[in-house]
Amino acid sequence: MSLLIQCPLCGNRNGYEFRYGGEDKGPYPDDRELGSADWYDYVHGSACTEGVVKEWWCHRLGCGTWFTIYRDTRINRQVQEPQESARQGTGQASGAGKIQ
């Protein structure tokens, strides 16, 4: 089964309607702190995390909105925001709920 993504404006839609925008890496770092190699890693690098990851998606065949979701890479499903313990580096998605 394909990925089901909940667009904030359109609701649940087939994942084929969306464009993946990469991991959410937070705000851009300060230019003065990074060299060109570090910028390359920031823009093109990926942690390839196993578990819940915050990602950017665009509803390209729908409303065109860019938004972030949490996706569990182990089951390829959108999940609710992970619990505080999961965000602190346990790598566990316990407490995360599936969106159906």
Give the footprint of Zn ion on this chain (CB under 5 A): 7, 9-10, 59, 62-63
Please, what is the minimum distance in Å from the beta carbon of residue 78 to Zn ion?
14
Please, what is the minimum distance in Å from the beta carbon of residue 92 to Zn ion?
30
- Of 59 and 77, CB closest to Zn ion: 59
Stretch (H or E) spanning 54 = strand 52-58
Distance from C-alpha of 61 to C-alpha of 36, rounded to nearest angstrom: 35
Q: Say which residue the tokens 């994942």 belong to.
A: 15
- Of 16 and 42, CB closest to Zn ion: 16
Please, what is the minimum distance in Å from the beta carbon of residue 65 to Zn ion?
5
Task: Give the ranges where the chain is alpha helix by DSSP (H).
Answer: 36-44, 84-85
